[in-house]
Amino acid sequence: MSAAPRADDARDVDVVCLGESMVTFVPSRPGRLADVPAFSRGIGGAESNVACSLARVGHTARWISRVGADGFGDHLVAEIAAAGVDVSYVRRDPDRPTGVYFRTAGERAVDEGGGGGEGDEGGDGELSEVVYYRAGSAAAAMSPELVPREQGWSGRVLHLTGITAALSDGCRALLRELTTRAPGRPLVSFDVNYRTKLWRGGGAGRLLDLARGCDLVFVGEDEAGAAWGLRGAAAIRAALPEPEVLVVKQGSAGATAYARRPGGGDEVTCEPAPRVEVVAAVGAGDAFAAGFLSGSLRGLTVAERLRHGHLMAAAALTVPGDLGAPPAREHADGLVALDAGAWGTLRLAPGWTDAGPVSAEVATP
């Protein structure tokens, strides 16, 4: 199967995820940030979200980053470790702080899709008001000098996102180093995660260059339009022919995967997303990537990987925070195995991941 993770006994974890995580503050009630009197604390970060989701479904995952030598850094490392993620390569910076951000609850009406296209960590087009305090953060100081390549390449898969590339020149240099094709490189997964707030000075073309050097790429159809002026999945594939697998997320419509055939050309697979009763439109794209990567690690078909991505996205969309408890593997596998008609009737509501094995309740509208 295309973009299969490398099997190598010397690699001690399934997936390495590298990037910034921040402490997030969510209002205790709906309303503008200016009007809310209190906030609850959580964590947010595209790469650590993927690592936590993978660990929770039974894979070994490592998160690499830098955090401040402060209480927020303590909280981040403890929470991510509690999800079962290896944090042994996280470094503390005595001179720079841990990043934080505040967001509203996104209480306006949302499109009820599970395709993983909804905003993650304050993405454009999402329904939350977001304010970042991340400039000069500890994670922004990452560079090839501070993060040795052998650490980034220590797993069967290395997962990166375009958010890291926007943080600093050093971070961009690190991503170029880690995505350079060379002997010993693992499968490199890249989620474009375009954020106009982070690329206001331009430079979205750098994301396209980075994506071209990777084996598996995730990109939202909407963000490809915003970043590169591309319209439609076929146009995105034409601009990104290099990755062995390209996954174009299409929100409530689902997702389309282009997987290169050994003899040339692509196998094109489309899977619709189930209907989802959305609680908060955050974290879905990260969860989708984790579900697809989990299926890749298990050697599943591309269609099955897409469905697992949709289900993991639905788990995130049906909870208030960035991370939803994923369904048990038996439950997810049962849903993924449904025929097209039954899959098309799925409607997933809050609490659906606790349903256990597939039931008539879950598998009908």
Q: Active-site residues: which are they? A: 286
Q: What is the torsion angle, in degrees rounded to the nearest 10, for the CA atoms of residue 19, residue 25, residue 26 and residue 29?
A: 180
For 28-80, list the strands marked E by DSSP: 39-44, 61-64, 66-68
**Tokens linked to 240:** 């990104």
CA–CA gap between residue 158 and residue 148 (Å, rounded): 14
187: left (phi over 0), alpha (psi -120 to 50) or beta: beta
Pair type for strands 245-249 and 255-260 = antiparallel
Alpha helices, DSSP H only, in 148-240?
Answer: 149-152, 162-165, 169-179, 204-212, 221-228, 233-239
Q: Name beta bridge partners: 26.
A: 40
Q: How many residues does the chain have?
A: 365
